[in-house]
Amino acid sequence: MILVRQEIGDVLRDVRLQKGRTLRQVASRASVALGYLSEVERGQKEASSEILASVAEALDTPISTIMREVGDRLAVIEGITTVPDTLPDDLVAEFDDLAVR
């Protein structure tokens, strides 16, 4: 069974390490308990969207970049060989219609 929380935790840890930041630094900057962030990184806790946004900001990384990496990793696990880089035209049109309102 694929655990999305595990992939999110792995990506957060990878980004943190790439940036050369400690768990303590990121937790402090994101105003998240150190132990909780550790559990999120290990895939033991589900992080809310608010926590993910705070951690992404603390890592100076757009949350879209983090979620894209999570999606790409899930696609590999699922055996999907090609992940589209663009949105389908009908979905783009739907968002354009919403923006006009």
Q: What is the pLDDT of residue 80?
A: 83
Distance between CA atoms of residues 99 and 89, nearest Å: 15
- Per-block average pLDDT, block size 10, for the chain (101 residues)? 92 98 98 98 96 98 96 89 70 70 58
Could you give the angle at the alpha carbon of 85 between the alpha carbons of 82 and 86, nearest 5°?
Answer: 125
What single DSSP character describes residue 72? H
Q: What is the pLDDT of residue 85?
A: 67
Please, are residues 37 and 100 in contact by the beta-carbon 8 Å criterion? Answer: no
CA-based nearest residue to 16, from 61, 54, 73, 62: 61
Please, are residues 16 and 23 in contact by the beta-carbon 8 Å criterion? Answer: yes
Q: What is the pLDDT of residue 98?
A: 66
